[in-house]
């Protein structure tokens, strides 16, 4: 399940493998009251970071399968990886083998680290009627200094994923064209949101509409919000 940090009328949602621990730390010491948002005093505001699904899978594999993810390549193997106790996953699985297992799972019951981000958000936002600010994780530090600070009326800081070794130019090397196409089909609804964010880096959605849209699509049918 995602990490939820309640801060009065603002709630930070830390999706797994989307900077959840850093986002929680950023919001833990702050509380917002309704009067601070006179334009929408009775509406809860949510904030979350959204990640490129293919990049997120690489990060997840390195976290769950390869505990030594400072190692340089996707195929290297160390005997001490057998000491990995975080999960039941076999440490000898290759990245393509693991991806094939992931995309055969039911999105409703799978591990939160790899579950579609839209499904996680839909479950959290269901039956709410507020606003959610969603920003691209890879740009969160810059977004926090601009549009997020303006929206929350608070100068906040966020993790800088540009500095992560798998943030930009390395992760595509893990994929063959066929594997990337399969991942994009499975995470179709996540990619739809990712493309919406691509221009400005962030968007604000009505929570009820977002949840209803995610329930409709669930990776099968993409419609615009």
pLDDT digits (tens, 9 = 90+) for 59-91: 888 777 765 444 444 544 444 443 444 455 665
What are residue 132's phi and psi, to 5 degrees? Answer: -125, 130
222 in a structural domain: no
Percent of the chain with pLDDT over 70: 80
**What pLDDT was estimated at residue 67?**
52
> pTM for this one?
0.83
225 in a structural domain: no
125 in a structural domain: yes
For range 169-181, the mean pLDDT: 87
The answer to whether 133 and 47 are in contact (CB under 8 A) is yes
**What pLDDT was estimated at residue 216?**
79
**What pLDDT was estimated at residue 203?**
95
**What pLDDT was estimated at residue 88?**
53
**What pLDDT was estimated at residue 90?**
60
Confidence grade of residue 225 (pLDDT, cut at 50, 70, 90): very low
Residue with more model confidence, 169 or 61: 61
Q: How far is CA 92 from the centre of its chain?
A: 26
**What pLDDT was estimated at residue 104?**
92
**What pLDDT was estimated at residue 155?**
82
38 in a structural domain: yes
**What pLDDT was estimated at residue 219?**
43
**Does 166 have pLDDT greater than 80?**
no
Confidence grade of residue 186 (pLDDT, cut at 50, 70, 90): very high
Confidence grade of residue 47 (pLDDT, cut at 50, 70, 90): very high
Q: Which domain holds residue 64?
A: 3-217
**What pLDDT was estimated at residue 182?**
95
Percent of the chain with pLDDT over 90: 46
204 in a structural domain: yes
Confidence grade of residue 15 (pLDDT, cut at 50, 70, 90): very high
Task: Give the chain's domain count.
Answer: 1
């Amino acid at each position: 399940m995602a990490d939820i940090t309640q801060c009065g009328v603002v709630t930070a949602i830390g999706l797994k493998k989307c900077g959840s621990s850093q986002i929680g730390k950023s919001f833990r010491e702050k509380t917002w009251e309704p009067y601070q948002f006179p334009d929408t005093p009775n509406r809860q505001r949510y904030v979350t970071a959204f990640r490129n699904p293919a990049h997120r899978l690489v990060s997840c594999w390195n976290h769950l399968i390869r505990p030594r993810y400072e190692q340089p390549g996707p195929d290297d193997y160390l005997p001490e990886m057998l000491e990995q106790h975080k999960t039941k996953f076999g440490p000898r699985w290759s990245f393509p083998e693991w991806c094939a297992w992931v995309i055969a799972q039911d999105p409703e019951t799978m591990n939160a680290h790899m579950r579609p981000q839209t499904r996680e958000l839909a479950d959290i936002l269901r039956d709410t009627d507020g606003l959610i600010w969603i920003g691209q994780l890879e740009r969160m530090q810059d977004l926090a200094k601009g549009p997020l600070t303006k929206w929350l009326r608070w100068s906040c800081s966020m993790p800088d994923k540009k500095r992560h070794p798998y943030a930009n130019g390395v992760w595509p090397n893990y994929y063959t064209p066929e594997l990337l196409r399969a991942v994009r089909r499975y995470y179709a609804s996540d990619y739809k949101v990712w493309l919406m964010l691509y221009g400005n880096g962030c968007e604000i959605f009505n929570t009820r509409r977002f949840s209803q849209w995610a329930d409709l699509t669930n990776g099968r049918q993409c419609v615009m919000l």
